[in-house]
Amino acid sequence: MSVLERGRATRLGARAGRRLSGWGRTTFSRARVVRASSHDEVVALLGEGERTRDGVLARGAGRSYGDAAQVAGGTVLDLTGLAETIEIDRERKLVRVDAGVTYAQLLARLIPAGLMIPVIPGTRHVTLGGAIASDVHGKNHPVDGSIAGLVEALTLVTPGGCVYELTAESGGELLATTIGGLGLTGVVTSATLRVESLAAPGWLVDTDRTDSLEQTLALMSRDEGHRYNVAWLDLLARGAQSGRAVVTRSRDAQPGELPSDGAPREDLSHASRLTIPPGFPGWVLQPLAIAAFNGLRWRAFPRHERGKPVRAEHHFFPLDGFGAWNRLYGAQGLFQYQFVVGDQHADVLIDAVRLLAARRVPVFLAVLKRLGEADGCPLSFPMPGWTLALDIPAGAAGARQTLDALDERVAQCGGRVYLTKDVRLRRDLLEAMYPELGRFHAARELVDPDGVMRSDLGQRLGLCGPLR
């Protein structure tokens, strides 16, 4: 069946289209979903003006939290079937992947080959196309930057079915705007990424338990030669203990540093062993219960531990242990609010934590990281400073108003929120947060003058203008 026939079948089969949301499950909209499994199918679909009139958008694994991967009334191109190619060039340390390949699939090939991709987000179930479109970062951003720095080349299909082969040398503004561009310049069908040698299949972790937010910030500011640096914060602890944390700082193991325990090779391609069922009632997660759990969890870690060897799954993907854990938040879903502020504005971070506590907005999960230099892509999130990611039940009283207030504070001090996780930012704050917005619009205008590439996020924030 051709992509056009399949599209028609999809349209007939799903009268009003499929209901889609981001990982946070707060905002849903309906779209026609067409599954594309080859580059040519993407070109054919984008070349057909009639089909794309109501807007079209690529979607990967749907792991962005907000409304970046959906377009109400339009056509969503599901790219998870475009996942055949993983070509490794060991000599040049490059890998070419189809856009629908996930980190799980890629790592399952790289690690046994003694290779690694240096930028890894907190879940392995995202596609490389989605990762590029969000310009993802890991817990080593100050050292390794975001995925933008790994992109040697990519293939982009734009409205009208035009194909661009963009390289790091000659890709110019279109490449810069596509990386982090949230699918609004076109559809990435494949990419060539830089990888590195993996000295040994493990990481050595230093763990420290802190008693307050101030201690946490002080410890994470120290440069002791770690490559990775992240803290899990307990924001449900009371008073001065709010912001106590488990700080894990780590580095790559070298040959001979890992115990030779004869453990079988790690397989990252498997799904989670436990999955939260659909319809899980949100009321089960109560702040008091989570606070007690956090306390137990915090105490379960050693006060100080040095050089504990861990494998990739535990090091990079602790959240992947449970499948569909977003269902824990029930029908109302969760906000993941991630912002960054410069080092000189750590007070904004501290105030944010205090404001959430004062207004009794429950933060069930909080992760603090450091970010390094920005990469020059106009919609890219990372900039030097502190980034805090907060998981908040969307139905919690006062959550929206408090996050609105935080948006203003973050914008005032030159910080920004991560758009791929956003579902509620006010349009008028966007320019203060992303001052290079003009570059994004200029590049987009050249490849998509009719505003065909659209998303609910793009429409909400004025990133894609009215349909012409």
Report how far residue 413's alpha carbon sits from residue 415's, in angstroms, rounded to the nearest whole number: 6
Nearer to ligand FAD by Cβ, of 105 and 242: the residue is 105
Nearest-approach distance from CB 354 to ligand FAD, in angstroms: 25
User: What would the x/- binding string for ligand FAD be over residues 90 to 129, using CB under 6 A?
Assistant: ---------x---------------------xxx--xx-x
Report how far residue 454's alpha carbon sits from residue 428's, in angstroms, rounded to the nearest whole number: 19
Q: Which residues contact 408 (CB under 8 A, 6 or more apart)?
A: 429
Nearest-approach distance from CB 137 to ligand FAD, in angstroms: 5
Nearer to ligand FAD by Cβ, of 36 and 361: the residue is 36
Nearest-approach distance from CB 421 to ligand FAD, in angstroms: 6
Q: Which residues contact 272 (CB under 8 A, 6 or more apart)?
A: 320, 321, 322, 323, 324
Q: Mark the segment that binds ligand FAD (CB under 6 A) among 130-138, 371-379, 397-405, 429-437.
A: 130-138
Nearest-approach distance from CB 159 to ligand FAD, in angstroms: 13
- Is 193 a binding residue for ligand FAD by CB under 6 A? The answer is no
Report how far residue 369's alpha carbon sits from residue 383's, in angstroms, rounded to the nearest whole number: 12
Nearer to ligand FAD by Cβ, of 155 and 242: the residue is 155
Q: Which residues contact 240 (CB under 8 A, 6 or more apart)?
A: 212
- Is 188 a binding residue for ligand FAD by CB under 6 A? The answer is yes
| Spatial CA neighbour of 237 closest among 417, 362, 340 | 362
DSSP string, 35-71: E--SHHHHHHHHT-HHHHTT-EEEESSS-SSSSTT--
Nearer to ligand FAD by Cβ, of 362 and 382: the residue is 382
- Is 319 a binding residue for ligand FAD by CB under 6 A? The answer is yes
Binding test (CB under 6 A) with ligand FAD, winner from 72, 182, 198, 235: 182
Q: Name the pairing type of β-strands 416-417 and 334-341.
A: antiparallel
Nearest-approach distance from CB 262 to ligand FAD, in angstroms: 31
Nearer to ligand FAD by Cβ, of 68 and 95: the residue is 68
Report how far residue 199's alpha carbon sits from residue 465's, in angstroms, rounded to the nearest whole number: 48
Q: Which residues contact 25 (CB under 8 A, 6 or more apart)?
A: 326, 327, 329, 333, 334
Q: Mark the segment that binds ligand FAD (CB under 6 A) among 183-191, 266-274, 292-300, 358-366.
A: 183-191
Nearest-approach distance from CB 260 to ligand FAD, in angstroms: 31
Nearest-approach distance from CB 142 to ligand FAD, in angstroms: 14
**Spatial contact of 383 and 371, defined as CB atoms under 8 Å apart:** yes
Nearest-approach distance from CB 429 to ligand FAD, in angstroms: 19
Q: How many residues bind ligand FAD (CB under 6 A)?
A: 33
Nearer to ligand FAD by Cβ, of 55 and 130: the residue is 130
Nearer to ligand FAD by Cβ, of 121 and 330: the residue is 121
DSSP string, 4-45: HHHHHHHHHHSTT-EEE--TT----EEEEEEE--SHHHHHHH
What DSSP designation does 381 have?
A: -
User: What would the x/- binding string for ligand FAD be over residues 396 to 425, using CB under 6 A?
Assistant: ------------------------x-----
Instruction: Take residue 453 and report the two structure tokens written for it.
Output: 């590439």
Residue for token pair 């990967």: 60
Nearer to ligand FAD by Cβ, of 187 and 235: the residue is 187
User: What would the x/- binding string for ligand FAD be over residues 423 to 462, using CB under 6 A?
Assistant: --------------------------------x-------
Task: Identify any residues that bridge with 246 across adjacent strands, giving them in sequence order.
Answer: 209, 232
Q: Name the pairing type of β-strands 304-310 and 322-323.
A: unpaired
At residue 338, what are phi and psi to the nearest 5 degrees? -120, 125
Binding test (CB under 6 A) with ligand FAD, winner from 183, 202, 330, 333: 183
19-78: which residues touch ligand FAD (CB under 6 A)? Answer: 23, 57-64, 68-69
Q: How far is CA 293 from the centre of its chain?
A: 26
CA R_g for the chain = 22
Nearest-approach distance from CB 329 to ligand FAD, in angstroms: 12
Binding test (CB under 6 A) with ligand FAD, winner from 26, 134, 294, 387: 134
Nearest-approach distance from CB 131 to ligand FAD, in angstroms: 5
Q: Which residues bind ligand FAD (CB under 6 A)?
A: 23, 57-64, 68-69, 79, 99, 121-123, 126-127, 129-131, 133-134, 136-138, 182-183, 187-188, 319, 420, 455
